[in-house]
Structure 1
Amino acid sequence: MSDSFYYNLSEDHLAFSDVVMRMKDFIRKDPRSVYVLSIGTDSQVNQNVTKFMTAIHLHRIGKGAWGCLTQQVISRPVQSLREKISLETAFSQKVCADILEGPLTELMDLLLPFAEEGADLRFEAHLDIGKKGSTKELIQEMTGMITAMGIEAKIKPDSYAAFCYANRYTK
């Protein structure tokens, strides 16, 4: 399990077990809905450090979302685009792996009694790369790292957990 702490606008210093409990509580409030659980990381290179923000975003389609973030800081500016995107992908992979270790099954089990009514949960990793710009050359490599875990990889413009939610908190 991750030893990082998570936070959102209403809570601070959440352990990973707290994050899982919050996601379960969010699903229990409406277990007949369709959910998308997405993990995404974005980064900001500063003069002396590079700040990485990884988002966990649980979207109840059409009915709101719950999310939280965790931060990693590397004590140098990451100059290489390949290294920066590789690190973003690796930080997302770590959180995805933590979720795959058990919490994903627990979340899906909450929806199982309502599956015939349409309840569902999709699990995605959102990468801050796209077909436009300098990251297009990294798409196959980075998405391959995610799909090798059995997780669907999303890129821009569909990777909102990375380039919208996480990005907002990298500044």
Structure 2
Amino acid sequence: MKQLTQWRRLNGERIKIPIADEMDRVLKSELATGYELKVCIGTDSQVKSRVTEFATVIVFIRKGHGGFMYILNEVTTQKMTIKERMLTETAKSVAVGFELCNIFSRYSVDMEIHADINTNPNFKSNDAFKEAMGYITGMGFAFKAKPEAFASSSCANKVVQ
């Protein structure tokens, strides 16, 4: 069972248009206001009983002026090892980055993919580090892992249900 909900803002407001159209709209508005922007995309997950919940976020940083984010929650009953779950998180972030990268490029906005994977080999999530880094950088995206991966380890972590 896989359940997909639509993108929303942090305040719960649902995005009723395709996310690419929303990104185009928000970039025009934010840049017209004079903000210098950076975008970070990340996914986190949480296992509860037989259900794994994922939250993917698109975080906009207004340099020197805070930020805001968009959220997509997904639920699956597929059983996964921790490595599979970390790589699924990475794949979800890369898919969103790939869908939106031309829009960010058009507006000259830097984008990073954040992986909720620990760089310390003493942590279980580190098993997926090399694969995740290779996947993200192989797709041509800037890569950040813990502790610098705030989009996944802080923002997405707060909104995974």
* TM-score bucket (shorter structure): 0.7 to 0.9
**Aligned residues of 2:43 and 2:90 also touching (Cα < 8 A):** yes
TM-score (norm 1): 0.81
Partner of 1:43: 45
Structure 1: unaligned runs, 5 residues or longer = 109-120
2:61 to 59, 62, 75: 59
Q: Which amino acid aligns with 2:73?
A: Q
Please give the residue correspondences for 1:7-156 in structure 2 after superposition, counting only pairs within 5 Å: 7-10=8-11, 11-14=13-16, 15-16=18-19, 17-31=21-35, 33=36, 35-76=37-78, 78-100=79-101, 102-108=102-108, 121-132=109-120, 133-156=123-146
Structure 2: unaligned runs, 5 residues or longer = none
% same residue = 27
**Aligned residues of 1:125 and 1:151 also touching (Cα < 8 A):** yes
Question: RMSD of aligned C-alpha atoms?
Answer: 1.8
Task: Kindly tell me the number of residue pairs found equivalent between the two proteins.
Answer: 153
What secondary structure sits across from 2:24 in the alignment? helix
2:10 aligned with 1:6, yes or no?
no
Q: Deviation above 4 Å: which 4+ runs of structure 1?
A: none
Deviation, 1:143, is 0.7
Q: Deviations over 1:57-116 (max 9, x none)?
A: 01012211121111221124x34011100110110011011112x3122322xxxxxxxx
What secondary structure sits across from 1:13 in the alignment? coil
What secondary structure sits across from 1:150 in the alignment? coil
User: Which structure shows the higher strand fraction?
Assistant: 2
Moved more, 8-17 or 135-144: 8-17
**Aligned partners of 1:155 and 1:95: how far apart in 2?**
17
Deviation, 1:164, is 0.5
TM-score (norm 2): 0.86
**Aligned residues of 2:10 and 2:71 also touching (Cα < 8 A):** no
What secondary structure sits across from 1:66 in the alignment? strand
